[in-house]
Amino acid sequence: MKRDKRTFWRSLPRASLFKLSLAVFFTFASVGFIVDLFHPDSDPLSSLIIWAIFDGICAVAFLLVGTRRPGRLVILVPAVIAGVVILFFFLPSYKGMPSLTDVLRRRLILDAALILSLLYVGYSLFLIFIETEGFRHLRNQAEVELAERLQTTLVPPLSLRTAWLEVEARSIPSSEMGGDLADALESGNSVTCYVVDVSGHGIAAGVLMGMVKVAVRMALARGECLDGVLRSLHNVLPGVKEPSAYVTVAGLRFPGPNIVEYATAGHLPILHYRSSTRTIARLAVEQFPIGMFPAAEYRAATAECGHEDLFVMLTDGIVEVVNAQDEEFGLERVEHLFLENAARPLAEIADMIIGASAAHGRQTDDQTILLARISV
C-alpha cells in the first residue's frame, strides 16, 4: 500500500505537482494571518506577511517530503521548528499597544481555533481524496494500457507475401481494444485469411477475439478446411463466452492460385474483383453467426480465380458509418472505390477505403479490412 502511494505521487507530472504545490502554499499561507487572531495587537503587517510566506513554504515542504521522501521528515521537522524559533525572536513586534477587551479577545481566539481546525481537517480530506481517486485513476490507466497491449499483440499490422499471393490488412478499434480481427496463415501450399467481428466492445470483446484467434489457428494447424474451422469454432465458443455474445466470420482459403474456398457466417459478403472482366462479385454463404444457435450448421463454397484477382473482406464498422444526413457509407461505395483503384498497391487501397469512410462520418464501431491479391 505504501509503495502504491509513493508510486502515485512520484508519477505525477511536474506541471501537476507544481499546481498542487501552489494550491497548498496559498491555502496554508493564510495560517499566518489566522494565528494573528490569537494576539491581534502584537505584530506589524510586515511580520504577518513573513509568517504567511513561511507557513506556505513549510506546508509545501511537508507535502513533497511526506509523499515522496517520507524518511526525510526527521530532517524537515527540526528545520521547521528552528525556523519558527528564529522568526519568533527576530521579527519585529508591537509593544505597549492598547489591549483588546477580554470578550473580543476570547471571541477572536475561538474563531481562530475553529478556522485552523477546519483548515487542517479539510486539507487531510483533500489528500485522502487525491490518493483514493489517484489510485482509481492508476487502475483505470493500467486497464487501458493492458487493452492497448492486447490489441497490439492480437491484431498486429498484417502484410503477407507468398510466391503467388499478397495479403494486407488494417484494423482500427473504436476504443483502446476492439473485437475485430484480421489474420492470415500460410500452411503448406495453402494460405488462409479471415476477418472476425466479435459482438460488443472493450476488453471483454477483445479477450473473446483472442480466444477465437487461438481456436482458428489450432483448427488450421490440424489441416481443417474452412467449413471445419467454422464448426470447430462453433463447438468451442459456447463454453467460453457470455450467452448473448456471438462472432461473425468471413474467410478465404487458397489451396492454389486458381481456386479459392470461401465462407461467411453472419458476415458481410466478400468482394471478388475479377481482373479479366473488371467486375465485382459478392461471395457469401448465408449462415448464422458463430455461437448464436447451437444447432447451426456451417459449410463453405468455392470459386475460380485468376491472375490479379483481388478479394476484400471488411467489417460493418466501415460500411455502417453515417454522415450528417444519416446516410450509410455502404458497400456500394466500397465497390466503386474498389473498381477505380484495383490496380493500386493493397496498402494504398486499404488506407483509401478507411479514409473515405472516415471522411463520410464519425467512427462508432471497430473497423477492419483485409485484401488479398493473386499475383501470378
pLDDT at site 137 = 64
Q: Are 272 and 373 in contact (CB under 8 A)?
A: no
pLDDT tens track for 36-93: 666 666 667 677 778 778 888 888 888 888 777 777 878 888 887 788 778 777 776 6
- In whole angstroms, what is the distance from residue 48 CA to residue 46 CA? 5
Q: What is the mean pLDDT of the chain?
A: 82
pLDDT tens track for 306-334: 999 999 999 999 999 999 899 999 999 99
pLDDT at site 319 = 93
Task: Walk along the chain (376 residues) in steps of 10 and give the mean pLDDT of each run.
Answer: 62 75 78 68 71 82 79 81 75 57 67 69 68 63 64 75 93 76 88 91 78 89 90 86 88 93 96 94 94 90 94 94 92 92 93 93 90 92
- In whole angstroms, what is the distance from residue 327 CA to residue 136 CA? 40
pLDDT at site 203 = 74
User: CA nearest 255: which of 230, 228, 223, 212?
Assistant: 223
Domains present along the chain, CATH in parentheses: 2-149 (no CATH), 157-374 (3.60.40.10)
pTM of the model: 0.65
User: CA nearest 32: which of 43, 16, 19?
Assistant: 43
- In whole angstroms, what is the distance from residue 297 CA to residue 287 CA? 8
pLDDT tens track for 278-296: 999 999 999 999 988 888 9
Q: What angle do CA 118, 120, 125 make, to 5 degrees?
A: 95
Question: What residues are paired with 195 via a beta bridge?
Answer: 182, 250
